[in-house]
Homo-oligomer: A and B are copies of this chain.
Amino acid sequence: MKKEACGLFAIYGHPEAARMTYFGLYALQHRGQESAGIVSFDGQKMFEHKGMGLVPDVFKEENLRQLPGDIALGHVRYSTTGSSQIRNAQPFMVHFKDLNIAIGHNGNLINTWELRQELENEGVIFQTTMDSEVIVHLLAKYLNGSTIEEALIKTLAKIQGAYSLIILINNKLIGLRDPLGFHPLSIGKVGSSYVLASETCAFDLLEAEYLRCVKPGEMVIIEEDRLNSIFFAEPQKQSSCIFELIYFARPDSIVFEEEVYLARKKMGTILAQEAPIEADFVMPFPDSGVYAAIGYAQASGLPFEMAMIRNHYVGRTFIQPSQDMRDFGVRVKLNPVAKMIKNKRIIIIEDSIVRGTTIRTRVKKLRELGAREIHMRVSCPPIRYPCFFGIDFSSKGELIASKQSVNDIARFIGLDSLHYLSLEGLKKSVSWKNNFCLACFNEEYPLKPSEKCGKFCVEW
Contacts and interface: CB of A to CB of B under 8 A. Distances in A.
Given A61-B319, A124-B140, A252 B337 contact: yes
A127 B136 CA distance: 11
Given A124-B140, A140-B123, A294 B306 contact: yes
B304 A336 contact: no
A291 B291 CA distance: 16
B59 A335 contact: no
B125 A337 contact: no
Interface of A, helix, strand, loop or mixed by DSSP: mixed
Interface in A94-143: 94-97, 101, 120-127, 129, 136-137, 140-141, 143
Interface in A133-189: 136-137, 140-141, 143-144
Interface in A40-73: 48, 54-57, 59-61, 64
- The oligomer's copy count stands at 4
Contact of A93 (B127, B290, B312): B127
B252 A316 contact: no
Contact of A137 (B97, B125, B318): B125
A56 B317 contact: yes
A230 interface: no
Nearest to A86: B86
Question: Which bucket holds chain A's interface residue count?
Answer: 35 or more
Contacts of A336: 252
A423 interface: no
Interface string A287-331: 100110010011000011111010111011111111001001001
A27 interface: yes
A250 interface: yes
A205 interface: yes
A319 B94 contact: no
Max chain B C-beta neighbours (<10 A), residue from A20, A290, A304, A328: A304
A340 B261 contact: yes
A337 B261 contact: yes
B127 A313 contact: no
Contact of A309 (B125, B140, B251, B321): B251
B93 A120 contact: no
Closest 10 CB pairs of A and B: A252-B309, A94-B125, A123-B141, A125-B140, A56-B316, A261-B337, A96-B125, A29-B313, A252-B335, A56-B318
B95 A125 contact: yes
Contacts of A23: 318, 321, 325, 328, 332
Given A54-B316, A311-B27, A125 B101 contact: yes
A302 to B, nearest CB: 10
A355 interface: no
A448 interface: no
B127 A95 contact: yes
Contact of A259 (B101, B207, B331, B337): B337
A30 interface: yes
Contact of A126 (B30, B95, B315): B95
